[in-house]
Structure 1
Amino acid sequence: MEPLDLGSAWTWRDARARGATRWQVTAGGEELTRGLYLSHADAASFRARCGAWTRLLPADAAFGLESAAVLLGAHTEPPVEVQVVLRPRPVLPQRRRLSVAVRQLRSEDVVVSGGLRVTSGAQTLLDLAAGLPPAELVAVGDALLRRGVLTRQALDARLRRADRVRGVVRARECAPLLDGRAMSRPESFLRYWLSTSDLPPPEPQLPVCDRRGRVVARADLGWHRYRVAVEYEGRQHADAGQFGRDVDRYSFMAADGWLVLRFAGRHLSGPAVVVERCRGALLSRGWRPGAQPC
């Protein structure tokens, strides 16, 4: 018996109503929860998984928390359970692999992304603040700003009406540290650790100019006054072409008097090494504790 084309997602009830046999209902897809199936072709897509869930969810449900972060393009690891946010109601959906949070959402707290209702960037950041460490929260906020799904005005407005909301204190503390110029999660980590230390706050995407004032390179982070740059070396730097460009860039910066500190994944377990190496570099270039920020 040939599988029946049921589309990307289907429920047991709908498939049987279309005349599918029990085998045809189950053969072509993965069971996300009881009675809900997603085709094997789309099983790897978190967005497709969320789209399938809309067949069982109330019309006003919005994907939230880590699920929203993934859908808004700010998080790389999808959660095990799909997370949705609903307004208060007498009975909440209870399903395997589904997590439901209750929020008093306004219309501005929900956006449509790729055809799905998702909590806004500001609402997502506020919801995540209750569970994420500050450095992780800043990394998510940076990514939301970078993707254009969060603005400072929207975040400020949401936080102003968030009194007594769980996580609001952390969200308000981290909000001034967000910067959409950060190009990756590791860069956000490095900047957070340095900005919350006793060192002067670094500038993201620091321009490096030649003697004619032309921008010839950009450092991930740095202090122009002391000509100290901080670079994070991710896996993409192992590419032969990127490696060659990095060599040229670092050589130019060194020739022009820049001290370049390079960090990798092994340094992301905590701030101590990053902060102390940057402290040593800044001290070697004339910075002293208590000096005015550069």
Structure 2
Amino acid sequence: MEMTNVSKGGDFILILFVVVLISYILTLVGNTAIILVSCLDPKLHTPKYYFLTNLSLIDLCFTTSIVPQLLWNLRGPMKTITPIGCAIQLYVSLALGSTECILLAVMAFDHCAAICRPLHYATVMHPRLCQTLVEVAWLSGLGNTFIQSTITLNLPLCGHRKLYHFMCEVPAMINLACVNIHANEIELLMASLVLLLPPLELILISYALIAQAVMKIRSAQAWQKALRTCRSHILVVILFYGIITAVYFQPNSFYVHRQGKFITLLYTVVTPTLNPLIHTLRNKDMKGVLKRLSRNKEILSYIS
């Protein structure tokens, strides 16, 4: 029985390794393609694709900060990470996740300006404002990770160093402390509320204004145009906030010991893989550019 259990466990780990590896490759290819296409095609030098490029960069870096270590641990019996590696992973992943939270709100504001003020869109979303909004998103992420990660890493640890998790993140790491972590759980909840709720409120307000503007027009074509503009962003927001809520807005011990590993796989592997697919498969402009580049490649290969 013990050998059978070990065999089954080995088969599951092998399948998981292959799934994670394929998802990681798709994430690298998909997000890199979005960044390159958005930068190389002049038609996509717009605020929308400027923000999308930053979102793809975040997903690319976020996944790379976690998945290679996960794959390394899956391939062998020793599942370890150095203290320095754990600290780097904590700082980087939290910074990128926090930045994405703000950036999604910025993208909602961009959609609101495009639909509610189409004639003044170029004036409202001028390059300097777009750059400032992206800088605010990145600085907010850096500030959040500096505070939360530093507090977490300064907690006194007990004798063991066994982390019941796939990665080094705040909800899992504070459980290693040998002191009462109730105050840290409250601090984590308050920081999460401050970081997540204002951007979510901005997103909801933006879409409320969009719905109000479209309803005034009372045109099926206007509804279709608004849906085409917003549907990719809405899907990404639902994925992001649905998973983040499961991570940071439930009892910490319940998250770590029961659902933590599964949720971690979702937002470190699945979501970054789905994001480029959502933005390319559901985006007419992006599909058009990819088709043009594909035709140009075929023509060049034929000539050569």
Which TM-score band applies after superposition, normalised by the shorter structure? under 0.3
Q: Which is richer in strand? A: 1
Q: Which has the higher contact order (CA 8 A, sep 6+)?
A: 2
Quick check: which one's helix share is greater?
Answer: 2
Bigger Rg over Cα: 1
Q: What's the TM-score once normalised by structure 2's chain length?
A: 0.21
TM-score by length of 1: 0.22
